[in-house]
Amino acid sequence: MNCNSTSRDVLAWRKNRMSPVPETLPHGLVAYGRSPDFTPQNLPAKLQAAHATKAGTWGLLHVLEGKVLYRLEEPHSDQRMVAADERLVIEPGISHRVAFVEPGRFFIEFYRAIEPANP
């Protein structure tokens, strides 16, 4: 898949969804990194405040234990409760914050578009 078709896939994916919080990652992405496990004791203040992933970086929040509240910042308005064994897609560049509602543990897996192979 080349970069142009990946961009078209993401645009079509965004157009066809109803919710501000995506239910699934778009096609054409590959995992490239992972955060450490976060708990109420080590959750950085910057994740509890409004922040966003950089352009082109998608996140997949994995809740291992407890419950986490994921809330979008203005101009978007949505929030999701994510419980143990659930995942939530984090869209690039969309300002959001997270907070523990019940003590537990979560991590974030990072994704980006598949790079075309060099001939």
Sketch out the chain's domains with CATH numbers.
3-113 (2.60.120.10)
Average pLDDT, the chain: 86
What is the pLDDT at residue 59? Answer: 97
Contacts (Cβ under 8 Å, ≥6 apart) of 41: none
Q: What is the pLDDT of residues 84-108, one digit of tens each?
A: 999 999 999 999 999 999 999 999 9
What is the pLDDT at residue 99? Answer: 98
Mean pLDDT confidence for 57-86: 95
> Which of the given ranges, 8-12, 75-79, 114-118, has the highest pLDDT on average?
75-79
How confident is residue 17, by pLDDT bands cut at 50, 70 and 90?
A: very low
What whole-number distance in Å separates Cα of residue 83 and Cα of residue 103?
A: 11
